[in-house]
Each structure stands twice: as C-alpha cells, then as structure tokens.
Amino acid sequence: MDGNGRWATQRGWPRVRGHKEGLKSVEELLETAPDLGIKHFTLFAFSTENWKRPKAEVSALMTLFRFYLRNFLSQLKAKRVRFHHLGSLDGFSASIRKDIKALEAATADHEGMVFHLAANYGSRLELVQATRRCLADGLKMDEINEEAISTRLWTAGVPDVDLLIRTSGEMRISNFLLWQSAYAEFYITDCLWPDFRTPQLKQALDEYSRRERRFGGL
C-alpha cells in the first residue's frame, strides 16, 4: 500500500489525507477481489520499521487502523471475508490488540477470501521468531527443514505468494514476505496506492495470467 504520502503531497494536502484515501482503495478492493477469484489477499499496511516515522504520523495511522478494525465488520460479513492479522502484536496498544482479536474471532467462520492485513509486520522478525520456535519446540538439527520453518511463520497454512504487487514504482521488497515470495511473480506499477483500484488490480492479474511460471524447472 505504498504511495499514500506522495498522493497527498502532490495535491498540497497533509500526508494523513493520503492514508485516508488509501483506505478507500482497501474498501473497494475487498469488495471486488473475491469476485476476481482471489483466495488470499494480503495488504502491507505497516511495517516493523514504520514505527520510526514521526510520532504524529504513527499516531494518525493507529487511529485509522482502529477505525478500520471497528467499522468494517459489516463489509467482511457481507462478503464472507475472513480477517487475519499478519505480524507482531507487540507495540500495539491494548485496545488495538483487543480489536484485532475481536475482528479475527468475528470472521473466523467465514469461508470466503482471506484478508491478511500485515500490520507491524517484518519478514526478518517473523523468521527469527520461527527459528526460536523450532528451538523452543525441541527440534533436532535434522528436523529443521522448510516445513518446520513454514509452519512456524505467521503465515502457517497459507499458500505461498503467487503475485506480489508493488505500488508507487518502488523497486524493492522492503522486508515483506521474503520466505513466502520465493517464487512470486512481481508486478511493479507507478500507480500510487490511493489510485490503485479495481481496474488496476484487473490489469495486474491480466499480466500475471500471461506469465509462465517454472519454479526453477524448465
């Protein structure tokens, strides 16, 4: 979800207005993505590194996050979308932690698309924690394999990434799903996140469908 700040700055508006507009993209895409055949939809909203931003921006993002958690249950219900938080709960206020758990619980029996919201997510932290869990579970050296690690990530049980879309033209992965994106197809667009709506998603899927995936084979 990159480019909110630039979207607002280009218009002479405060950055937070871009974050608010970006939420409209989230709302629209959650409505249309299931109809486009997407089973798992992950949005990178806030990284473990984003806490370094100015206090006022972090606090505006938390307010928006809380607003989402408290007001979007009806949309998730209507579309039978299951909400799943991806990331660490450490660092969030007690009330946000409670709201995350509540939204997950309230949508747990939804059989439609899964919406993974990566918030306070960092791939390296996830891998460090998974490694620690291997030790805590008493795994022997020869029991540490890809499955042992995969099943201890926050994405345990979730299929690997097929298509990774990066908005706002940045050519980097920014600590996002490093393990899970090993064979992901990349799609980079200059479109800023608030402008990334259904037609843009369709275009990305269209290009993805023309890619030939070989997973290291011929």
Cα 50 to Cα 54: distance, rounded to the nearest angstrom: 9
Is residue 42 involved in binding ligand IPE (CB under 6 A)? no
Residue nearest to ligand IPE (CB): 5
- In 3D, which of 81, 47, 29 has the Cα closest to residue 198? 29
Is residue 133 involved in binding ligand IPE (CB under 6 A)? no
Evaluate whether 119 touches 45 at the Cβ level (below 8 Å). yes
Choose the binding region for ligand IPE from 3-11, 83-91, 135-143, 150-158 (rule: CB under 6 A). 3-11
Nearest distance from residue 115's CB to ligand IPE, in Å?
Answer: 17
Residue nearest to Mg ion (CB): 2
Is residue 66 involved in binding ligand IPE (CB under 6 A)? no
Residue 103, contacted partner among Mg ion, ligand IPE, none, CB below 5-8 A by kind: none
Cα 84 to Cα 73: distance, rounded to the nearest angstrom: 13
**Is the Cβ of residue 42 or residue 107 nearer to Mg ion in the bound state?**
42
Q: Is 71 a catalytic residue?
A: no
Burial of 156 (0-12, 13-18, 19+ CB in 10 A): exposed
